[in-house]
Amino acid sequence: MNSVSAGKVTAFGTAVLLSLLAAPAHAAPQAPDPDLASLRGVLRTAMKQGAPGAVARIDDEGTVVTTSAGIADRGTERSLAATDRFRIGSVTKIFSAVVLLQLVDEKKLKLDTPVNRYLPGLLPDDRITVRHVLGHRSGLYDYTNDMFARTVPGFEAVRSKVFTYRQLVDRSLRKPRTTAPGGPYSYSNTNFVVAGMLIEKLTGNPVGTEYQQRIVVPLGLKDTFYVHPGKKIPGRYARGYLTPDPSGAALVDATEQTASWAQSAGALISSTRDLNVFLTALMEGRLMSGTQLTQMRKWVPAGTGQAYGLGLRRRDLSCGVSVYGHTGAVQGYYTYAFASKDGKRSLAAFVNTSNNGAVHTTMLRSLESAFCGKKTKAVRGSSVSERAEAVDPGAAAH
Q: Which of the 8 DSSP states describes residue 26?
A: G
**DSSP per residue over 79-98, as a string?**
BP-TT-BEE-GGGHHHHHHH
DSSP structure class, residue 215: I
Sort 135 into a burial class: Cβ within 10 Å, 0-12 / 13-18 / 19+. buried
Q: How far apart, in whole angstroms, are the C-alpha atoms of residue 285 and residue 280?
A: 9
Burial readout 294-321 (b: 16 or more C-beta within 10 A, e: otherwise): ebbeebeebbebbbbbbbbbbbebbeeb
User: Does residue 172 carry a catalytic annotation?
Assistant: no
Distance of alpha carbon 259 from alpha carbon 391, whole angstroms:
10
Which residue in the list 38, 68, 90, 188 is annotated as catalytic?
A: 90
Identify the bridge partners of residue 301 per DSSP, sorted by sequence position: 307
Helices (H) and strands (E) in the chain, counts: 14, 13
| CA dist list (Å): 167 to 162, 164, 187, 190, 394 | 10, 5, 19, 11, 21
Q: CB of 356 within 8 A of CB of 337?
A: no
**Active-site residue numbers?**
90
